[in-house]
Homo-oligomer: A and B are copies of this chain.
Amino acid sequence: MTVLVVGSVALDSVETPFGKADHVLGGSGTFFSASASHLAPVQLVGVIGNDFPIDELKKAFANRPIDLSGLEQQDGASFRWRGRYRHDLNMAETLETHLGVFSNFRPKIPDQFRGAPFVFLGNIDPRLQLDVLTQVSKPKLVACDTMNFWIESRRPDLMQLLEHVDLITLNDAEARQLTEEFNLIKAARWIMAHGPKYVVIKKGEHGAFMFTKDSIFFAPAYPLESVFDPTGAGDSFAGGFIGYLARTNDLSEANLRRAVVYGSAMGSFAVEKFSVQRLLEITPQDIQRRVADFHRLVVFEQDVS
Contact = CB atoms under 8 A, between A and B. Distances in A.
Interface in A169-207: 182-186, 203, 206-207
B302 A258 contact: yes
A281 interface: no
B302 A295 contact: yes
Interface in A214-234: 215-220, 223-227
A227 B185 CA distance: 11
A186 B225 contact: yes
Contacts of A254: 300-301
Interface in A266-300: 291-292, 295-300
A103 B152 CA distance: 51
For this complex, into which size category does the number of interface residues on chain A fall? 35 or more
A223 B218 contact: yes
B218 A303 contact: no
A298 B218 contact: yes
Given A206-B206, A209-B223, A216-B223, A257 B295 contact: no
Contacts of A209: 223
Contacts of A216: 223, 297
Contacts of A298: 217-219, 298
A184 B225 CA distance: 8
Contacts of A295: 300, 302
The quantity of this chain's copies bound in the complex is 2
A87 interface: yes
A285 to B, nearest CB: 12
Contacts of A292: 302
A304 to B, nearest CB: 10
Interface centre among A203, A217, A292, A302 (most CB of B within 10 A): A302
Nearest to A182: B87
B226 A300 contact: no
Contacts of A257: 299-301
A24 interface: no
Interface string A252-270: 0010011011000000000
Contact of A301 (B248, B258, B297): B258
B297 A291 contact: no
Central interface residue in A184, A206, A226, A303, by most chain B CB within 10 Å: A303
Contacts of A296: 215
A258 B220 contact: no
A225 B300 contact: no
A255 to B, nearest CB: 8
Q: Which 3 A-B residue pairings sit nearest by Cβ, starting from the closest?
A: A257-B300, A206-B206, A298-B298
28 contacts: A87-B182, A183-B225, A183-B226, A184-B223, A185-B223, A185-B225, A186-B225, A203-B206, A206-B206, A206-B207, A207-B207, A215-B296, A216-B297, A217-B298, A217-B300, A218-B223, A218-B297, A218-B298, A219-B298, A248-B303, A257-B300, A257-B301, A258-B301, A258-B302, A258-B303, A261-B300, A292-B302, A295-B302
